[in-house]
């Protein structure tokens, strides 16, 4: 398991970092001093291996983009043997240079904003770590095993906060001259826990004043979501600077006294919010939806916006492909299909043999778009079934015949068989059954459940609903406070809309199913229209945690259970979708998916095809960013267009 990854300049400025376990600041500082500043240690030049430096039980490997003066450093415990680190260094270097190389060249690095790099990095980690057997997880080994012996990444979350803190190490101290003051750290097993956030504060999206790109930039600057992931520019520090006693960590705490926002249940998150400066600027509803003639606010879909996203992503792909030394994730697939069919003429009856090669090409194309192999193979099989024996028109190329057939197959899979009109369902339940509509969100850890639940709440508030948000993540320290902050933001943002939002919370450690049921009762008594239930993240293959969902479904009786899945997730999406779908007991499955982080994948939107293909469950919403207004409906045609581009 990787402990830390840092990207820094040769002059010692940390441009970006990702931390999975606390590593003393002196570790990387020693590397910089010994190798780059004082040159006391001269690394062996070996083309086959990255240079290695060892310090206090850690192994540090690095690579450089010499022309840009960048150093990429990976740190892990020497006890473990990570065969993929060299590849990670190469790929991350290629990606970073591809994405930010020009800016590094032209700008002063202190103003470089690389807050969007995290998903690219995570994707590499996912692919490389996932593809390699892990020989030990040092930070996991530090935590007490669970009674069930399940994966201890989950187990740490179940420990009482005090026990967690004891098991953890001192945090970073990037002061080069003094030792770190040992203070408790965030849950090391959960690297991307977001800080309680005004994250979706739409400082960046108000009144439609800023473009999408502008909104994102502004968000990166102000969003604690970015701050939470260890990659925020505001936490850049100069390693070789003379600043004293600056303690920082992946959560962005960089106070002189080293105090860290860790357990939001004891920290005054709301106080922080109040101090965090001027409140939220309004979001222009036209940026994300429109009013119908009946006065309903309906969400936009991705149609036009997707073009913008694709153009942006493709530009990046091209630039990173140009610099990539080893085919990373960004290899462009645009135009890949076209070349496959040149030799095949129209006006003939198609045979299996004619189709074999182009369909293999189509399958590869879908895989590149992030469609899981299982789904890609099945889709190609169905196209083959449709086309064998078919006579192509004289002016119809086989390319367009296959494309049309694939588009039809994709459209068939993605088109929901029942209505997804949430607003209508709510109004039916409210008026016919005189009770609140209950919607709950489930999913693995960190996929964006709370964020997207809040976006849904914001959407409902635009429709003047009275919304109760139930904090049923009773595991993760900070989860309740995070929702509280969302509710506060939502109140602020929607105060003119006429809706109402409140939180129902009962703290930590209690049974989530009971809390959810109590929330529904409370909502009924108090005239709320909708209850949105946030649940704890759980690994889909953790039997123990998954089994509690059955009780949850029984007690809370949600009208709709939506699973949030990340667009980034790749082949694991199928297992996630199947396992969640099968965990609510007999006769009860998922009702839909929210595919989050679509903004980070460009045209590689295959995950949603994989999930729908595996389960037959429709996609209800797409998450397209970290703002409350970054929620969209699915447009099947535009998704097909993206997949076939
Ligand atoms: N770019 C992008 N980021 C998103 C999106 N949705 C959520 N996020 C980010 O993903 C991170 C995790 O979001 P959360 O909502 O806290 O995830 P969660 O699933 O509730 O996390 P747990 O409760 O720990 O399981 C945060 O940094 C969010 O800002 C999205 O659509 N696009």
Flag whether pLDDT at 630 surpasses 70: yes
Is residue 593 exposed (0-12), middle (13-18) or buried (19+ Cβ within 10 Å)?
buried
Closest CA to 563 of 426, 458, 449, 639: 449
Q: What is the pLDDT of residue 317?
A: 54
CA of 625 to the centre of ligand 1 (A): 9
Pocket test for ligand 1, best of 122, 158, 194 (most atoms within 8 A of CB): 194
Q: What is the pLDDT of residue 308?
A: 60
CA of 149 to the centre of ligand 1 (A): 28
Q: What is the pLDDT of residue 318?
A: 60
CA of 448 to the centre of ligand 1 (A): 3
Q: In this structure, what token pair is assigned to residue 267? A: 């920290």
Pocket of ligand 1 (CB under 6 A): 193-194, 199, 225, 228, 443, 445-452, 473, 476, 479, 537, 596-597, 599-600, 623-626, 630
CA of 68 to the centre of ligand 1 (A): 32
Flag whether pLDDT at 218 surpasses 90: no
- Tell me the pLDDT band of 10, cut-offs 50, 70 and 90: confident
Atom number in ligand 1 closest to CA 482: 16
The ipTM estimated for the assembled molecules is: 0.99
401 vs 179 pLDDT, higher one: 401
Atom number in ligand 1 closest to CA 453: 15
Of all protein residues, the one whose alpha carbon is nearest to atom 9 of ligand 1 is 448
CA 370 to chain centre: 15
Pocket test for ligand 1, best of 448, 480, 487, 633 (most atoms within 8 A of CB): 448
- Strands (E) across 536-606 are located at 560-566, 592-596
Q: In this structure, what token pair is assigned to residue 565? A: 């899945």
- Tell me the pLDDT band of 136, cut-offs 50, 70 and 90: very low
146 vs 597 pLDDT, higher one: 597
Of all protein residues, the one whose alpha carbon is nearest to atom 24 of ligand 1 is 446
Q: What is the pLDDT of residues 377-413, one digit of tens each?
A: 999 999 999 999 988 766 667 777 888 899 999 999 9
Q: In this structure, what token pair is assigned to residue 439? A: 């919607």
Q: What is the pLDDT of residue 109?
A: 63
Closest CA to 605 of 623, 584, 589, 627: 623
Q: What is the pLDDT of residue 376?
A: 95
CA of 478 to the centre of ligand 1 (A): 14
Of all protein residues, the one whose alpha carbon is nearest to atom 30 of ligand 1 is 597
The CA–CA distances, whole Å, from 499 to 46, 305, 431, 478, 495 equal 64, 27, 17, 26, 7
Flag whether pLDDT at 148 surpasses 70: no
Of all protein residues, the one whose alpha carbon is nearest to atom 6 of ligand 1 is 448
Q: Which of 267-276, 344-353, 499-508 has the highest mean pLDDT?
A: 499-508
Atom number in ligand 1 closest to CA 228: 27
Q: Where are the domains of the chain?
A: 331-414, 422-644
Q: What is the pLDDT of residue 43?
A: 73
Flag whether pLDDT at 203 surpasses 50: no
331-414 has CATH 1.20.120 classification = yes
CA of 447 to the centre of ligand 1 (A): 5
Q: What is the pLDDT of residue 560?
A: 97
CA of 94 to the centre of ligand 1 (A): 26
Question: Any idea what the Cα angle at residue 96 is, between residues 95 and 100, rounded to 5°?
Answer: 120
CA of 599 to the centre of ligand 1 (A): 12
Q: What is the pLDDT of residues 301-359, one digit of tens each?
A: 766 555 565 566 556 656 655 554 333 322 333 344 444 444 445 567 888 998 898 89
Flag whether pLDDT at 366 surpasses 50: yes
Q: What is the pLDDT of residue 509?
A: 86
Flag whether pLDDT at 423 surpasses 70: yes
Closest CA to 643 of 314, 365, 301, 332: 365
CA of 508 to the centre of ligand 1 (A): 20
Q: Among 12-16, 298-302, 363-367, 498-502, which is the least confidently predicted range?
A: 298-302
Q: What is the pLDDT of residue 114?
A: 83
Flag whether pLDDT at 449 surpasses 50: yes
Helix-helix angle 352-368:373-387, to 10 degrees: 150
CA of 25 to the centre of ligand 1 (A): 28
Of all protein residues, the one whose alpha carbon is nearest to atom 11 of ligand 1 is 448
495 vs 470 pLDDT, higher one: 470
Helix/strand/coil for 473: coil
Atom number in ligand 1 closest to CA 225: 27
Flag whether pLDDT at 242 surpasses 80: no
Q: What is the pLDDT of residue 430?
A: 96
Q: Which is it for the CA torsion 324, 327, 329, 331, positive or negative?
A: positive
Q: What is the CATH number of domain 422-644?
A: 3.40.50.300
283 vs 275 pLDDT, higher one: 283
Q: What is the pLDDT of residue 535?
A: 94
615 vs 317 pLDDT, higher one: 615
Q: What is the pLDDT of residue 177?
A: 31
Average pLDDT over residues 11-28: 85
Atom number in ligand 1 closest to CA 116: 1
Question: Any idea what the Cα angle at residue 446 is, between residues 622 and 533, rounded to 5°?
Answer: 70
Average pLDDT over residues 607-631: 92
Q: In what order do the strands lie in the sheet with 52-55?
A: 14-19, 2-9, 70-77, 58-65, 52-55
Q: What is the pLDDT of residue 341?
A: 43
Of all protein residues, the one whose alpha carbon is nearest to atom 8 of ligand 1 is 448
220 vs 119 pLDDT, higher one: 119
- Tell me the pLDDT band of 116, cut-offs 50, 70 and 90: confident
- Tell me the pLDDT band of 104, cut-offs 50, 70 and 90: confident
- % pLDDT > 90, the chain: 34
Pocket test for ligand 1, best of 154, 197, 200, 446 (most atoms within 8 A of CB): 446
Q: What is the pLDDT of residue 263?
A: 29
Flag whether pLDDT at 367 surpasses 50: yes
Average pLDDT over residues 536-553: 90
**Under the phi-then-psi rule, with left for phi > 0, alpha for psi from -120 to 50, and beta for the rest, what region is 509?**
left
Mean pLDDT score of the chain, rounded to an integer? Answer: 72
Q: What is the pLDDT of residue 257?
A: 30
266 vs 210 pLDDT, higher one: 266
Of all protein residues, the one whose alpha carbon is nearest to atom 27 of ligand 1 is 225
CA of 402 to the centre of ligand 1 (A): 37
CA of 629 to the centre of ligand 1 (A): 14
Flag whether pLDDT at 426 surpasses 90: yes
Flag whether pLDDT at 206 surpasses 60: no
Q: What is the pLDDT of residue 616?
A: 93
Flag whether pLDDT at 150 surpasses 50: no
Q: What is the pLDDT of residues 31-44, one digit of tens each?
A: 888 888 777 777 76
Average pLDDT over residues 539-552: 89
Stated pTM of the model: 0.59
Flag whether pLDDT at 298 surpasses 90: no
CA of 109 to the centre of ligand 1 (A): 28
Q: What is the pLDDT of residue 320?
A: 57
Atom number in ligand 1 closest to CA 451: 15
441 vs 1 pLDDT, higher one: 441
β-pairing, 2-9 with 70-77?
antiparallel
């Amino acid at each position: 398991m990787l402990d830390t990854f840092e990207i820094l300049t040769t002059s010692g400025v940390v441009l970006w970092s990702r931390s999975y376990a606390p590593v003393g600041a002196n570790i990387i500082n020693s590397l910089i001093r010994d190798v780059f500043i004082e040159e006391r240690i001269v690394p062996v030049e070996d083309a086959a291996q990255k240079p290695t430096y060892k310090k206090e039980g850690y192994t540090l490997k690095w690579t450089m983009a010499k022309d840009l003066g960048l150093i990429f450093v990976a740190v892990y415990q020497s006890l473990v043997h990570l065969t993929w680190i060299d590849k990670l260094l190469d790929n991350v270097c290629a990606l970073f240079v591809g994405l930010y190389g020009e800016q590094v060249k032209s700008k002063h690095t202190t103003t470089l904003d690389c807050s969007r790099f995290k998903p690219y990095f995570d994707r590499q980690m996912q692919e490389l770590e996932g593809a390699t057997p892990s020989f030990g997880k040092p930070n996991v080994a530090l935590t007490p095993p669970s009674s069930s012996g399940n994966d201890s990444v989950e187990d740490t979350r179940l420990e009482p906060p005090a026990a967690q803190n004891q098991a953890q190490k001192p945090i970073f101290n990037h002061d080069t001259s003094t030792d770190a003051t040992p203070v408790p750290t965030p849950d090391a097993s959960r690297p991307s826990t977001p800080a309680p956030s005004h994250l979706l504060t739409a400082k960046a999206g108000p009144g439609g004043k800023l473009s999408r790109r502008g909104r994102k930039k502004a968000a990166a600057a102000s969003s604690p979501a970015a701050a939470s992931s260890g990659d925020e520019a505001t936490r850049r520090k100069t390693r070789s600077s003379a600043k004293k006693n600056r303690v920082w960590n992946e959560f962005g705490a960089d106070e002189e006294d080293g105090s860290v926002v860790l357990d939001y249940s004891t920290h005054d998150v709301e106080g922080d919010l109040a101090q965090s400066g001027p409140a939220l600027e309004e979001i222009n509803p036209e940026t994300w939806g429109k009013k119908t003639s009946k006065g309903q606010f309906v969400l936009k879909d991705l149609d036009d916006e997707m073009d913008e996203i694709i153009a942006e992503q493709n530009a990046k792909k091209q630039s990173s492909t140009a610099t990539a030394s080893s085919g990373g994730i960004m290899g462009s697939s645009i135009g890949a299909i076209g070349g496959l069919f040149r030799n095949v003429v129209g006006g003939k009856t198609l045979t299996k043999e004619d189709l074999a090669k182009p369909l293999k090409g189509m399958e590869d194309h879908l895989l590149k778009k992030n469609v899981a192999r299982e789904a890609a193979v099945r889709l190609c099989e169905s196209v083959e079934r449709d086309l064998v024996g078919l006579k192509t028109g004289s002016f119809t190329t086989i390319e367009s015949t296959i494309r049309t057939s694939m588009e039809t197959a994709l459209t068939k899979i993605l088109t929901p068989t029942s209505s997804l009109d949430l607003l209508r369902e709510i109004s039916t339940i409210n008026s016919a059954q005189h009770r609140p509509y209950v919607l709950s969100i489930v999913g693995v850890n960190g996929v964006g459940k709370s964020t997207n639940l809040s976006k849904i709440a914001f959407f409902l508030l635009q429709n003047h609903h009275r919304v109760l948000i139930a904090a049923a993540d009773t595991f993760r320290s900070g989860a309740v406070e995070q929702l509280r902050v969302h509710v506060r933001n939502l109140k602020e943002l929607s105060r003119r809309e006429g809706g109402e939002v409140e939180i129902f919370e009962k703290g930590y450690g209690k049974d989530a199913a009971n809390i959810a049921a109590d929330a529904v009762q409370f909502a009924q008594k108090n005239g709320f229209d909708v209850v949105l239930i946030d649940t704890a993240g759980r690994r889909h293959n953790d039997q123990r945690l998954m089994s509690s969902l059955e009780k949850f479904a029984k007690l809370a009786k949600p009208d709709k259970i939506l699973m949030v899945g990340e667009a980034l997730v790749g082949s694991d999406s199928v297992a996630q979708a199947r396992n969640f779908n099968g965990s609510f007991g007999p006769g009860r499955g998922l009702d839909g998916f929210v595919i989050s982080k679509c903004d980070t994948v460009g045209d590689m939107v295959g995950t949603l095809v994989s999930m729908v293909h595996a389960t037959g469950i429709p996609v209800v919403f797409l998450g397209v960013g970290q703002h409350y207004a970054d929620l969209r409906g699915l447009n099947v045609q535009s998704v097909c267009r993206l997949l076939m581009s």
